[in-house]
Each structure stands twice: as structure tokens, then as C-alpha cells.
Amino acid sequence: MAAPGEALIDEDVVGSSDPRQHIAAPAPAHPPRASTAWADVLVSEMSAAVSADDARARAVAVVLGAFGGAVARAASAQNAVLKKAVLVQQRRRLAQEERQWELQLHASGM
């Protein structure tokens, strides 16, 4: 049994690890839209794979095609929230600096 993080694939069974023997997997022609269509595309791509590395590349292409848009939208939403938080923090810092300046001005006038 392989230790955590080790590959479970035996190169003698799968084939050589020589990268010249592997064909890069093309991205699916039509990224799947329906909730289960991506699974059908994944099965089709896995059937067409010629090696384990090719299968991995094809799987990544299918998953990114199916879910990449959702990930990008989530990242964009998180980015917008962070930008708002930074803006609020900056406004609070400026208000605090202004209050401190007024206190110093008032204290020096006494």
C-alpha cells in the first residue's frame, strides 16, 4: 500500500513515464452545461485516454470546463467582498486619524 501522497499507479502496468509517449489531451470541444453532462464527457474522455497521464490531463480539462466558471464567479465574489472590507477599514482608519489630530490640536490649545 502506498503512503499518503504517493502514486498508486504502477508504471510497469500503466506504461512508461516517458513524456514523449503521452499525448496531450485536448480540451473538450463543447464544455458540458447540464448538471450530469460533465460526467458523460468525463467518461468519454477517459475512454479515449491512451495512458494514465493522458487520462489525468483529460480529467482536469473536463472538470475545469464544467466547474471553472463557477470557481471564477466565486473568486470574483470573494474579491468584491475583500475590496469592500479594505475600503471600510481605510475609511475607519482615516476617521480615527482625523479624531486624533483634532484631540492633539485641542490639547495643545489649552
- Looking at the domain assignment, is residue 27 inside a domain? no
Q: Is residue 9 part of a domain?
A: no
pLDDT per position as a tens digit, 63-84: 888 788 888 899 999 999 999 9
Q: Is residue 52 part of a domain?
A: yes
Q: Tell me the per-residue pLDDT of 15-64, one tens digit each, with 9 for 90 and over.
A: 444 444 444 445 555 555 566 777 788 888 888 899 999 999 988 888 88
String of DSSP letters for 18-66: -GGGPPPPPPPSS---STTHHHHHHHHHHHH-SSHHHHHHHHHHHHHHH
Q: How far apart are CA 53 and CA 46, in angstroms?
A: 11
Tell me whether residue 94 is in a domain.
yes
Domain count, the chain: 1
Give the structural domain span for 65: 34-109
pLDDT of amino acid 41? 84
**Residue 75 covered by a domain:** yes
Cα–Cα dist 35/64, whole Å = 14
Q: Is the pTM of this model over 0.85?
A: no
